[in-house]
Amino acid sequence: MSSETIVIRNAAWIAAWDGSGHRYQRDGDIAFAGDTIVQVGGRYEGAADRVVDGSRRFAMPGLVNLHAHPHTEPAYKGVREDHGVPEMYDTGLYERMCAFVLDADGRRAGMEMAYAELLLSGVTTAVDLSGPVEGWLDCAGRSGLRFYIGPYFADARWKIDERRRLRFEWDEAAGRRAFEAAVRVMEEAERHPGGRLRGIVFPGQIETCTESTLRDAAAFARQTGRPLTTHISQSKVEFHEIVRRHVKTPLEYAADIGFLGPDAILGHAIFIDGHPDIRWRGGADLGRLADSGASVAHCPSPFARYGQAMDHFGRYRARGVNVGIGTDVAPHNLAEEMRLAILLARVMAADYRAVDTAEMFRAATAGGADALGRADLGRLAPGAKADIVLLDLDHPAMRPARDPLRTFLFEAADRAVREVFVDGRLVVENGRPLHLDPEGAAAQLEESQARMLVEAPARDFLGRAGDDIAPHSLPF
């Protein structure tokens, strides 16, 4: 943690927090002492150790990425974008996860690259949901980002049978050991010097954990004051699996076993009973979700690639559901994800008023922070953490900056990010991450991806080559 007082002098535009929402301020200072903001707007008259010229900058709070898998998803670049399975209602999730397994070197390279991408798209807090791997916490700590570390555990593994049905290989003893290992990783994260790493309790999927594991995970999260997350209502296959097991929707089941609550973050809550692709038994899920106080981690990209979408962002918000934004897949570019989330909400609603720039910005900042129980994140206000992103108003993609937030979301995205502070510490300077080496990691990721594809026949349920599961986009 820095102990300096830094002043961003005369920022041309500021997205300041007024206590209930973001609003523009012009030509003002932002001052922070150590990790905490002391002043937003006006002229800061106190002493400063360092002054940053803000006259050609738009200052905004760092974005919160509420759901990401930075270790493995970069290895699916060029593999998953056109991949789907018609027999599984188009989702390619299960086939891909069964056939393509990345080695530890590849996962370390993936995180190095993804963390850089997160910072460069303006993210200062990320929820990293990953299988524990050596070096994870060192890289997360070194990156300068603020993390919620979610080590994966589950009682069952997915398996696809010869008729393309999703099956489950249960091993509850292994699941219990993974839960205990996850607790140790979270505790280690929270002891990490710098204090920017916290744990989030992450039973992997609603359908791969036993009821007792889900109950224990929720109880453990509540006893220890950690947030709680899982994958739920993320595919039609999963929806029907839970209906078959319990004659309840996944959200109804989660509510009935006490999993839902204000500390629960649901990735992705798309296939709920009122969704037009589901339409099952009355459509009570949205109200159930809102009444529980749980938040949704909304990640439109992976679903859009299968031709699927939440129905719809504006409806969830109107019913009172807190929604934050995540990337889930590569690219780890939250700015682009926000743009897609706006556009898809408008298409699904057939109404441009379904969501506007201000509402989407709120979701990606205060919405994500609130989901994590953090009133000190996602806001530029005295007392909040000094997690600040400066966008370059001189970049051609930002000009004209008549409304710089709109220009960032709809046009410039990550190209405009110039400086990033986390906890008052500069971690991106002149558009470069200071503590990460994505170029150095790229060769390792390429090597590990090639191995992952070569090893696919031994894992795939039909013994197919990687290039047959996910063919190239153009013929050779």
Give the residues lining the site for Zn ion (CB under 5 A): 328
Q: How far is the CB of 66 from Zn ion (least distance, A)?
A: 10
Q: Which residue, 66 or 401, has its beta carbon nearer to Zn ion?
A: 66
CA dihedral 181, 183, 187, 189 (to 10 degrees): 70
Q: How far is the CB of 92 from Zn ion (least distance, A)?
A: 14
Among 384, 423, 418, 382, residue whose Cα is nearest residue 12: 418
CA 212, CA 289: separation in Å to the nearest integer?
21
Q: Which residue, 93 or 321, has its beta carbon nearer to Zn ion?
A: 93
Helix (H, G, I), strand (E, B) or coil at 98: helix
Q: Which residue, 61 or 227, has its beta carbon nearer to Zn ion?
A: 227
Q: How far is the CB of 72 from Zn ion (least distance, A)?
A: 10
Among 334, 322, 304, 461, residue whose Cα is nearest residue 409: 334
Q: How far is CA 366 from CA 181, 198, 261, 324, 325, in A?
A: 31, 18, 18, 8, 11
Q: Which residue, 200 or 427, has its beta carbon nearer to Zn ion?
A: 200
Q: How far is the CB of 301 from Zn ion (least distance, A)?
A: 11
Contact (CB, 8 A) for 39 and 16: no
Q: How far is the CB of 353 from Zn ion (least distance, A)?
A: 29
H or E segment and range at residue 37? strand 36-40
Q: Which residue, 15 or 154, has its beta carbon nearer to Zn ion?
A: 154
CA 16, CA 5: separation in Å to the nearest integer?
19
Point out the residue whose Cβ comes nearest to Zn ion. Answer: 328
Q: Which residue, 296 or 398, has its beta carbon nearer to Zn ion?
A: 296
Q: Which residue, 328 or 392, has its beta carbon nearer to Zn ion?
A: 328
The DSSP secondary-structure symbol of 273 reads T
Q: How far is the CB of 99 from Zn ion (least distance, A)?
A: 18
Q: How far is the CB of 323 from Zn ion (least distance, A)?
A: 16
Q: How far is the CB of 204 from Zn ion (least distance, A)?
A: 9
Q: Is the dihedral of CA 96, 97, 103, 107 positive or negative?
A: positive
Among 187, 201, 59, residue whose Cα is nearest residue 124: 59
228's CB contacts (< 8 A; 6+ apart) are: 200, 201, 202, 217, 218, 221, 222, 259, 261, 263, 264, 265
Residue type, 298: H
Q: Which residue, 6 or 251, has its beta carbon nearer to Zn ion?
A: 251
Q: Which residue, 285 or 328, has its beta carbon nearer to Zn ion?
A: 328
Q: How far is the CB of 267 from Zn ion (least distance, A)?
A: 5
Q: Report phi then psi at 274, rounded to 5.
A: -90, 0
- Residue with tokens 């006006």, as numbered in its chain: 42
